[in-house]
Amino acid sequence: MNPDVFREINIPTKLQTYFRRILVGQVTEPIQMEVEPRATGYAYLSWIAQGRWTGFVNDVLEIDSDTNGRVILSGQIDNASIITRFEGPLWQVFAEFNALGQQQFLGIPGIETLERAVGPQSLNSAVFKSIDERLSKFQDDASHEQLQQHFLQVLESTPEQQVSIPEYLHNGINKIEQCNGFCRIAEIAKIVGTSERQFRREFVQAVGLKPKNFCNVLQVNTALALLMNREDSKIAELATECGFVDQAHLTRAFQKFLGASPLSLAANAEATVARFVGQCRAVENRVS
């Protein structure tokens, strides 16, 4: 799979409250490709306007765009084995939510989509169903540029949801992201003015992942983003730079969350999954 299939597009101002980045994937030739998605710490709203997308969780077919609809909500990845297959020609757009964006934009808590890929009929969300219905109303001969504009217009015209999320949760997640996951949850809870138990409970409900797992994902993806932008592959230096105890600690974390060692990923830095996952933190790094 060509790592440059996906290109990032600008997020309209109105949507920046909910989304971190939006990527468009386009393949004009007939293809069949298989990808093993890895945890990024964020959920995705996808629209497959052309082509076919199937998703398997622990080897069980979870969703097929031909039968479950072309608008798909992909939740957080934790420990499950995920495989996605694409058949094209393909035109697809991924909108990456921020940590709380799924619940804020769709009214769907992160815990409801943990390790799931679902269509609008699988969830009790009028907003999700409305987005699906409106996205389906496009001309068969629409250009790729028109499809992109249609997607953005549908999202921008989606009414704001009245979702109550504690301010301390917003603040706590911001602090976790600012330190790329290298923090203690007890300290974060104290800083934002709540108990650790309350913070953990609200976090899991809204985000889907446990706070510790979210932190671990950010740590690994930050290291991956730096690895892909280094001219050398000195893993020990990278481990120290990113806050890991040593090279062995970093390698174990990469194996757990990315399924490969830092050295093997460095040798194939253009791999699509590595690019897609690593850029998840690279975007944040550019902002800071």
pLDDT of residue 279: 59
pLDDT of residue 287: 37
pLDDT over 60 (residue 283): no
Query: CA–CA separation, 188 vs 192, rounded Å?
Result: 6
pLDDT of residue 3: 47
Six-digit token string for 287: 């902002």
pLDDT of residue 286: 41
| Alpha-carbon distances, residue 157 vs 19, 70, 96, 131, 278 (angstroms) | 15, 19, 18, 9, 31
Instruction: Look up the pTM and report it.
Output: 0.89
pLDDT (average), residues 117-123 = 91
Query: What domains does the chain contain, in order, with CATH numbers?
Result: 3-156 (2.60.120), 167-287 (1.10.10.60)
Residue with tokens 């911001």: 174
Query: CA–CA separation, 188 vs 173, rounded Å?
Result: 9
pLDDT band at 285 (very low <50, low <70, confident <90, very high): very low
pLDDT over 50 (residue 256): yes
pLDDT band at 113 (very low <50, low <70, confident <90, very high): very high
Query: CA–CA separation, 115 vs 196, rounded Å?
Result: 25
pLDDT (average), residues 39-59 = 93
Torsions phi, psi for 60 (to 5 deg): -110, 130
| Alpha-carbon distances, residue 226 vs 217, 231, 278, 281 (angstroms) | 14, 10, 8, 9
pLDDT of residue 1: 42
Q: Which residue has the higher pLDDT, 68 or 167?
A: 167
pLDDT (average), residues 114-131 = 93
Highest mean pLDDT, choosing among 32-46, 75-89, 187-201: 187-201
Q: Which residue has the higher pLDDT, 28 or 106?
A: 106
pLDDT of residue 281: 64
How high does pLDDT run on average in the chain? 88
pLDDT of residue 288: 38
pLDDT of residue 282: 57
Torsions phi, psi for 33 (to 5 deg): -140, 150
Q: Which residue has the higher pLDDT, 229 or 116?
A: 116
Tell me how many helices (H) and strands (E) the chain has: 12, 8
The angle at the Cα of 33, spanning 49 to 4, to the nearest 5 degrees, equals 75
